[in-house]
Amino acid sequence: MSNNCSNFRQRSTAGCKWLYNRLMTWLIITLFTFLTAGLAYWLLVTTEGVFLGRRVVVWLYDLTAHRYDGVKEFSPEDERILVTNPVLVAVQGVDRPLVLDVATGTGRVVYDLLQAEAFTGTVIGLDASWPMLAVAKRKLQAYGQGQQTLLQGVAGRLPFGGDAFDLVTCLEALEFFPRQEEALREMVRVLRPGSALLVTRRTGHEGRFFLHRYRSEAQFVALLGRVGLTNIRIFNWEVGYDLAIGWKGTAGAAAVDSAAGLVYNGQEES
Ligand SMILES: C[S@@+](CC[C@H](N)C(=O)[O-])C[C@H]1O[C@@H](n2cnc3c(N)ncnc32)[C@H](O)[C@@H]1O
């Protein structure tokens, strides 16, 4: 009888151990799967490949180009306030301005400007993703062909001579560039002295997911100053972004004054 009992105890202890080991194995596998999926999500979705290098960022845009405009749902009224008006203010007084939009994506700035009667200049949209540019090309074929050019290229090596543009814009893209300061220096290089750069800064918790690539407002102003911009001002812009304006060298007082109302979307300047 006591022999039977001790066999039973030994067997049930062995059974418990087996169950415990199985549970621990599954727990570790589940934890590992969650961590890997979380890391992959952060690397590929939240920060859009930025920690994996430029080619991955551009590849992700290549893959999703056909869905980009649908996801963004640009509204004409918002675009007028957030894009067209600031550009028109920044090139005020310039006859037939030449504008460069760096990382134009599906041609947002080009499209908005070509629809504005008040815009009499020419706009060049540059992007590294060919599929994004292909969407832009389809959207823009009905608009002023003589007023627009789309180019494939990278922000860190702009294929233009110095002092060429009356305005450079770079919206919702700087955080994706591998060397942001170098890209900004390129944008300033191609600006005509006295002309402005309009560039966005990622803000809020989404911005902080970019870790050391995130810049506070003060750090962003300091960065823009380092690359040679003056009279820098920052405005609340879209959800998750600020819009900064700065001039190459000294800007006319009138230009700086008119930029005070650069973005009015019912929000106070930050
Ligand atoms: C969020 S989209 C912004 C597009 C557009 N500016 C807008 O506001 O809709 C970012 C764009 O940056 C482009 N891009 C990313 N890294 C780039 C680089 N190093 N040089 C040029 N374009 C780049 C991507 O291909 C993509 O079209």
103 touches ligand 1 (CB under 6 Å): yes
Residues 6+ apart with CB under 8 A from 236: 242, 243, 263, 265, 267, 268, 269, 270
104 touches ligand 1 (CB under 6 Å): yes
Structure tokens, 193:
């002295």
Strand order in the sheet with 191-202: 148-152, 122-127, 98-102, 165-170, 191-202, 241-248, 229-236
Structure tokens, 167:
């305005």
Of the candidates 223, 164, 157, 235, which has an alpha carbon nearest to the alpha carbon of residue 198? 235
Q: Over the chain (270 residues), what is each successive 10-residue block's mean pLDDT?
A: 62 84 93 91 87 94 97 95 95 95 98 95 98 97 89 98 98 96 98 97 90 94 97 94 94 73 58
Which residue's C-alpha comes closest to atom 12 of ligand 1? 103
Residues 6+ apart with CB under 8 A from 14: none
108 touches ligand 1 (CB under 6 Å): yes
- In sequence order, what are the beta bridge partners of 124? 100, 149
Half-sphere exposure of residue 104, counting CA atoms within 13 Å on the CB side? 32
180-192 pLDDT, tens digit per residue, is 999 999 999 999 9
Look at the pTM and tell me if it is higher than 0.85.
yes
Of the candidates 215, 216, 250, which has an alpha carbon nearest to the alpha carbon of residue 231? 250
Percent of the chain whose predicted confidence (pLDDT) is above 70? 93
177 touches ligand 1 (CB under 6 Å): yes
Query: What is the amino acid identity at position 45?
Result: V
Strands, E assignment, 114-259: 122-127, 148-152, 165-170, 191-202, 229-236, 241-248
Chain centroid to CA 256: 25
Measure the CA–CA gap between 265 and 160, rounded to whole angstroms: 34
Domain boundaries defined on the chain: 2-68, 70-261
pLDDT of residue 270: 47
- In sequence order, what are the beta bridge partners of 246? 197
For residue 103, the CA-to-ligand 1 centroid distance in Å is 4
225-234 pLDDT, tens digit per residue, is 999 999 999 9
Q: Architecture of 70-261 per CATH?
A: 3-Layer(aba) Sandwich (3.40)
Mutation choice for ligand 1 from 61, 72, 238, CB with most ligand atoms inside 8 A: 61
Mutation choice for ligand 1 from 176, 200, 237, CB with most ligand atoms inside 8 A: 176
How far CA 218 is from CA of 91, 221, 222, in Å, comes to 26, 5, 6
